[in-house]
Structure 1
Amino acid sequence: MTDFQEETTARAADSGAGATAAFKAKQQAGVADTDPERVSLLATEVLSAVHDTIRKHQVTYAEYDALKNWLIQVGEDGEWPLFLDVWVEHVVEEVNSADRKGSKGTIEGPYYVPGAPEFQGTAQMPMRDGEPGTPLRFEGQVRDLDGKPIPHAKLEMWHADAQGFYSQYAPGIPEWNLRSAVVADEEGRYVFNTVRPAPYQIPTDGACGKLIAAAGWHAWRPAHIHMKASAPGYRLITAQLYFPGDEHNADDVASAVKPELMLDIQKDGDAEKTVYDYVLDPA
Structure 2
Amino acid sequence: MRDVTVDNITDVFTGYFGKDTDPRTREIMISLAQHLHDFTREVNLTHDEWRKGLSMLEHAGRITTPERNEFVLFSDVLGLSSLVDMMHSKPDATSSSVLGPFHVSNPPPLAIGGDMKRDFEGPVLLVEGQVRDTDGNAIPGAQIDIWQTAPNGMYSSQDPDQDIHSFHGLMTADDNGEFCFTTVRPVSYTVPSDGPVGELLEAAGRHPWRPSHLHYIATAPGFRSLVTEVFPDDDPYLDEDTVFGVRKDLVMTYHTRPATEFPDGLALSGSVIEPFLYVKFDLILSIDDDT
Short-chain TM bin = 0.7 to 0.9
Structure 1 residues 105-148: Cα deviation after superposition (integer angstroms, max 9, x where no partner): 21211111222121332221163x2x132110000111222222
Partner Cα distance (1:100, 1:211) in 2: 33
Maintained 8 Å contact 1:122/1:182: no
Is 1:278 matched up with 2:268? no
Maintained 8 Å contact 1:235/1:281: yes
Maintained 8 Å contact 1:140/1:278: yes
Structure with greater helix share of residues: 1
SS in 1 for 2:110: strand
Which residue in the other structure is 2:28 paired with?
42
SS in 2 for 1:142: strand
Is 1:228 matched up with 2:211? no
Letter in 2 for 1:150: I
Residues 42-191 of structure 1: pairs in structure 2 closer than 5 A? 42-78=28-64, 79-87=70-78, 88-97=80-89, 99-125=90-116, 127=118, 129=119, 131-191=120-180
Maintained 8 Å contact 1:100/1:281: no
TM-score norm. by structure 1 comes to: 0.82
TM-score norm. by structure 2 comes to: 0.79
Residue number among 177, 192, 203 corresponding to 1:214 in the alignment: 203
Shift of 1:194: 0.5
Maintained 8 Å contact 1:142/1:280: yes
Matched residue pairs, number? 246
Partner Cα distance (1:85, 1:152) in 2: 31
Partner Cα distance (2:164, 2:188) in 1: 21
Structure 2 residues without counterparts, runs of 5 or longer = 1-20, 65-69, 259-274
C-alpha RMSD of matched pairs (Å) = 1.7
Partner Cα distance (1:65, 1:175) in 2: 37
SS in 2 for 1:120: coil
Maintained 8 Å contact 1:123/1:180: no
Partner Cα distance (2:282, 2:107) in 1: 21
Maintained 8 Å contact 1:122/1:190: yes
Shift of 1:277: 1.0
Partner Cα distance (1:101, 1:153) in 2: 18
Structure 1 residues without counterparts, runs of 5 or longer = 1-34
Maintained 8 Å contact 1:125/1:178: yes
Maintained 8 Å contact 1:123/1:181: no
